[in-house]
Structure 1
């Protein structure tokens, strides 16, 4: 439930509770993916349904860590050198811009210093793990299913609209 669950720039200020609370409402639809639940809420919005009464709830959340590959000294040092080079280049450019007549030397010095520090810090960090994490991965929260809830005053209308969407989708597939 990563970025997919953040508010968009168009949503405006949040009117939801400041503290974590259980969701309210009656189930009007259940979906296997977050994209399907979003599509359902979008359909409700397009049908002039009061979507401010709607909540998408991820049921049975789980943390999934997907392993991208093996981590080696070569990859660690190359990554450290690259990130250090970018930072050093940035610092060198800033120094060059704000020092009259400095020219190219601050950029080169910043780049070389960045590479050196990047190598040193990445090597120290990797050595500190002592081989306990020799892989690269990324994690995300997902749910087994996504329920769309609506406040009781509009639940029946929401179910009808989502049934229409399901029927139309079934005809297409």
Structure 2
């Protein structure tokens, strides 16, 4: 029971990046090459980066198009109902024709009414999908070298070793991995008092200076 629950929990991808592609089909082809060479593909993961929601407009909506789409939907529903009724009726073909006709009529009417209620706010048809700008192929570290060599033999460009996925590095003044310089700490009273600007100003001409104190 506990093992089944662990497998359903989403976990971040692990492994080294062995190849990177601009399209999913190229990443799929790379995994197919590994599978065809009897590689342990269960150690491979395809990760899509920079996800975007894309909505592609496929056409313009109008009353004739809405009516036709509603009629086609009603035909399929009427055909299903007609086949059910024809099992218990001697004149099965006539029953199917009547059900198909009624389904087309009601589907057309329902589609036109639904489109009229939109008020022309969405007069187009579209398809939405989530796409990535890059697809990385990851593999477990112990098998990454073998996977790269197999892909290179197939003529597929690979990524160098040591480029893990999702490994962030902290940057400080001393370079990557160096801690940032700490800010001023301590008691404010222990800090040196700044010299006022008038004490640093040189004496003016003709101005009498006080005699220095006698030792």
TM-score by length of 2: 0.65
**Which residue in the other structure is 2:66 paired with?**
76
**Structure 2 contact 30–156 (Cα < 8 Å) conserved:** no
| Aligned: 1:94 with 2:84 | yes
| Aligned: 1:116 with 2:105 | yes
CA separation in 2, counterparts of 1:81 and 1:145? Answer: 42
CA separation in 2, counterparts of 1:167 and 1:61? Answer: 24
Provide the alpha-carbon RMSD of the alignment. 1.8
**Which residue in the other structure is 1:144 paired with?**
133
**Structure 2 contact 85–92 (Cα < 8 Å) conserved:** no
Shift of 1:117: 1.6
- Runs of 5+ in structure 2 lacking a partner? 1-5, 158-215
CA separation in 2, counterparts of 1:117 and 1:160? Answer: 62
TM-score by length of 1: 0.80
Greater RCO (Cα-Cα under 8 Å, separation 6 or more):
1
Bigger radius of gyration among the two: 2
| Aligned: 1:105 with 2:105 | no
Shift of 1:42: 1.1
- Runs of 5+ in structure 1 lacking a partner? 1-15, 169-173
CA separation in 1, counterparts of 2:125 and 2:144? Answer: 45
CA separation in 2, counterparts of 1:48 and 1:92? Answer: 52
How many residues end up aligned between the 2 structures?
152
**Which residue in the other structure is 1:29 paired with?**
19
Deviant stretches of 4+, over 3 Å? none
